[in-house]
Structure 1
Amino acid sequence: MKLKYQGNARVKRAQLSCLRRDFELLTMKQGDSITDYFGRVMKVANDTRNYGEDMDDVKIVEKILISLTKKWNYIVYSIEEAKDINHLFVDALQSSLLIHEQKFKAGGEDEYALKVTHEESYG
């Protein structure tokens, strides 16, 4: 019985190690939608939680913000300046980014990025 438990603990440790690595290596790919990327991040985060590892919203929010593609840089800067990241929930971040994604699609990405930059500079 003891050997079986030690084997299970070893498997659990190995699985957690793989999940931690997967989480660290996650990045948004060119062409990913916010929904797709959040889905990938949350799958790894939830799998990690299922193995008993603590995965709080702050860690997930920080991971998402640092791993978005470059077109999101100005939005990330705005969010970091306007909100306390330590109190930002994953679903609130996703909602905010989805709104920006819709604006990207509606007005063209370059036009929207310039508008955000202009607004940040003046007000």
Structure 2
Amino acid sequence: MPKHGEPSTQGEKTTPDDSMRKLEVVVPTPLTQLSAMNYRHWAMRMEVHLDAQNLWDMVAGTETNRQKDRLALSAMLAAIPETSGVQLDIKKSAKENWEIIRSFHVGIDRLVQSRAQGLRREFENLTMKKEEKISEFTDNFTSVVFELRQCGDNIKDREAVRKLLRSMPPRYDSLTLTLEQFGDLETMSLVEAIGSLKIHEMRLAERDAREEEQALLTRALNRLKKTKAQEEGQSSRGRGRGRGCGRSKTQPDEDQKQDGDRKPFDKSKVRRYNCQNFGHFADECTNEKKP
């Protein structure tokens, strides 16, 4: 007798099939959609998905079960767009339809491999130009790495980081040497390496700005000194003018006091500007002005 509150099981029958639970497949939304260039990536993800749902045996052909076969084909159809152009036959098994998809994309897969080889050559030849900024170069660098991975080239971060450091111009040598000597390049991610390079670029820009400011200040001080020297030279030349006809008679006496060895001043060589006569200074002149 069932206890109070428990449903009655009277009349229910148990069979050995109770241990075989009903197959339930949860299809993630959305699945990776098949396209003209991603067959390898799509096939890998689809195999993992079907294997997780215990359905890959249907595609591999190691098991025969009508219900599981339909579930596997249903998952495949959910990951194929209507415009893909793949002619599947739902009357055929999941294994047969898988082979149809594979044969349709085998030629495109060769094109993908050729594209991967071209990207690998481009990756090896990447070098940052002197006038190029870190952000511009790293954007291109990461784009090439991403495309390589999309084409099936499983390039690791440690390889990408080492190539990135080798691609830097000489002004980044101090940072690259530090990272190579003291950094763990085996575990360093590509994002971390790019971040270090961007920080170093900011510091270089700040240093260049300070050096330029100092150079401008030095040039301004040099121009100021040069201008001051020119003004002092002009002033000294102005004070030396007019020592001819307007010279005072007391000037020769002062010169003689400063230099006892100098000969007495001869006024006979002094010519008066107004009267055009020799032998006297302006304050001694009593003659009329001549033109």
- Scaled by the length of structure 1, the TM-score of the pair is 0.81
Identify which of structures 1 and 2 has the higher relative contact order when contacts are C-alpha pairs closer than 8 Å and 6+ apart. 1
Quote the offset at 1:3 in angstroms: 6.2
1:11-62 alpha-carbon deviations (Å, 9 max, x no partner): 1111011111110111111111111111111000001111121021111101
Quick one: percent identity of the two aligned structures?
25
1:55 aligns with 2:155: yes
1:48-94 alpha-carbon deviations (Å, 9 max, x no partner): 11112102111110110111111111211011112111111111111
1:80 aligns with 2:180: yes
Quote the offset at 1:4 in angstroms: 4.1
- Structure 2 gaps of 5+ residues are 1-99, 212-291
Query: How far apart in 2 are the matches of 1:104 and 1:79?
Result: 17
Query: How far apart in 2 are the matches of 1:5 and 1:100?
Result: 46
| Residue 71 of structure 1: aligned partner | 171
What pairs up with 1:19-30 in 2 under 5 angstroms?
19-30=119-130
More helix by proportion, 1 or 2?
1
| Residue 38 of structure 1: aligned partner | 138
The one of 184, 190, 193 equivalent to 1:93 is 193
Quote the offset at 1:5 in angstroms: 3.2
| Residue 116 of structure 1: aligned partner | none
User: Which ranges of 4 or more aligned residues in structure 1 deviate by more than 3 Å?
Assistant: 1-6
Q: Which amino acid aligns with 2:111?
A: V
Q: Which amino acid aligns with 1:50?
A: Q
- Structure 1 gaps of 5+ residues are 112-123
How large is the RMSD of aligned CA atoms in angstroms? 1.8
Q: Which amino acid aligns with 2:143?
A: K
Count of residues paired in the alignment: 110
- Scaled by the length of structure 2, the TM-score of the pair is 0.36
Larger of the two Rg values belongs to structure: 2
Quote the offset at 1:95 in angstroms: 1.4
Quote the offset at 1:9 in angstroms: 2.1
Query: How far apart in 1 are the matches of 2:105 and 2:162?
Result: 35
